[in-house]
Every structure is written in C-alpha cells, then in structure tokens.
Amino acid sequence: MSQTTEIQLKIAALTARNGRYPSAAYEFVGDAVREAVRRLDRPRHVTAAELLAVFKAYAYECFGPMTPVVLEEWQVRRPIDVGRMVYELIDIQLLSAAPEDRESDFDIEFNLTEPPAAAAPSSVWKAPKID
C-alpha cells in the first residue's frame, strides 16, 4: 500500500468517525503544514499563529477569491477549526506536536477569509503614465 493511500484511508476513517469536516479539509491542513515548514528559512517548530498565516496564504494561492466559499463549504470558520483538524491529524499520527503545544493555541482572533496583504486590491498593477 502506498503512503498516499494509507494517509487517505486514515483520513477517510477519521471523517467517517466524526463527520465534522470533509476529507479534503484534512488533506488541505496537512498540505498547509508541509507548506509552512517548506517556507521556513531553516527546519524548526511551526507555531499556531505561523500555521494560520500560511494556511490562509496557501488557501488564497490555491483557491483565489473562492477561498471564503471553500472554507465555508468545509465548515472551517474560525482558527480553532484549523486547530481541531491539526490535533485530529496528530491523534491519527499524521502530524506531530511539541510537548508544549495545545489545541487552544488556535483559539485566537484571526480572520481566515480576509485576503492576505499580497492578494489585496492595492497590489493590482497600475498602467504607467505616458507623457
């Protein structure tokens, strides 16, 4: 059995057991964690706040302006939803956490659906002035 198939089977079992979030949401959270680690200048622990920032940026890279619609479809409305999925993935040994990490680290004020600064309208290209 391939590693991908094993991961998909574990996530499918998790979704069947709790039904709170769809498999695609768990897979995306796993991808966002890997993306957060990839974006670091050196390998180290990723905090909840760092993961949330990458989660949002990565969502906008993948889904663009449809990000709020996708997150709503997945029932991911608050940072704690991301935290729950992270810890459920930890429980089935697809992710790991440092001893000091807590699910409550994700219970913070953070807007998941507001576009990141790089995607804001102010970054739209403007035509040069011609004299």
Residue 108 placed within a domain: yes
Give tens-digit pLDDT for 2-33.
777 888 999 999 999 988 999 999 999 999 99
Asked if the model's pLDDT at residue 125 lies above 60, the reply is no
| pLDDT recorded at residue 123 | 46
| Alpha helix stretches (DSSP H) within the chain | 3-18, 23-39, 48-63, 67-73, 79-91
Q: pTM of the full predicted structure?
A: 0.84
In which domain, by residue range, is 42 found?
A: 3-119
Place of tokens 């219970």: 107
Inside any domain, residue 124: no
Cβ neighbours for 90, distance < 8 A, ≥ 6 positions apart: 96, 97
Count of structural domains within the chain:
1
Provide, rounded to the nearest whole percent, the portion of the chain with pLDDT above 70: 88
Residue 126 domain flag: no
